[in-house]
Amino acid sequence: MSTPFKVLVLCTGNSARSQIGEALLQTRGASRGAGVVTGASAGSRPAPRVNPYAVETLEARGIAWQGRTPKSIDDVAGEAYDLVITVCDNAQDACPFFPGARAQVHWGLPDPADETEPEAARAAFARTFGARAQVHWGLPDPADETELGQAAQAIHDAT
């Protein structure tokens, strides 16, 4: 049995983008050619709750995500990850760095939580989901950390 390929998705609040990334990895990225993929997420300044539109968006696509809570980077600091993906895309956000990962890449995404009008928020969360829905299929498997980072970044650049 192979060792799981561990992916951590980081952002500021861990309430929207990173939660959607974790949900996709946990439910649709369960395996790849080289074995099992596990996903986690955290934030540098965790929000008090997962954004309800994130939960609604995931549930509308068959992914049960209610009852989750945002986590701090400190909550996952003891884990070793193969790939860390930061998803912050707001100039004033300080995207976190996670030491010890084999590779870290930045997949900037607009924060759908910035939308406050319900229909605009639902549309923004749907775009965020759609932007990442196929990412898990292309997770790289190179042994070299530089190649891993380059291959992972290429996935984002192609979307």
Write the pLDDT tens digit of every residue in 69-90.
999 999 998 888 988 988 887 5
8 A C-beta contact, residue 10 and residue 83: no
User: Using 50, 70 and 90 to split pLDDT, how confident is the model at 120?
Assistant: very high
Q: What is the pLDDT of residue 125?
A: 94
Residues 6+ apart with CB under 8 A from 12: 43, 44, 45, 88, 90, 93, 94, 95, 96
Classify 5-146 by CATH class.
alpha beta
Highest mean pLDDT among 44-48, 49-53, 125-129, 145-149: 49-53
Residue pair 30/107 in contact (Cβ under 8 Å)? The answer is no
Please confirm, yes or no, whether 11 is among the known catalytic residues: yes
Beta bridge partners of 36: 31
Q: State the average pLDDT over residues 103-125.
A: 91
DSSP string, 73-103: HHHHTTS--SEEEE----TTS-----TT-SE
24 is catalytic: no
DSSP-derived secondary structure letter, 61: T
Query: What pLDDT score was predicted for residue 158?
Result: 63
Q: Which of 16, 23, 87, 88 is catalytic?
A: 88
Per-domain residue ranges for the chain?
5-146
Q: Which of 34, 63, 95, 126 is catalytic?
A: 95
Phi/psi region, residue 94 (left: phi>0; alpha: psi -120 to 50; beta: rest), is beta
| C-beta of residue 66 within 8 angstroms of C-beta of residue 55 | yes
**Is 10 among the catalytic positions?**
no
pLDDT higher than threshold 50 for residue 91: no
Q: What number of other Cβ atoms are within 10 A of residue 104's Cβ?
A: 23
Catalytic residue among 11, 23, 105, 148: 11
Query: CB of 101 within 8 A of CB of 81?
Result: yes
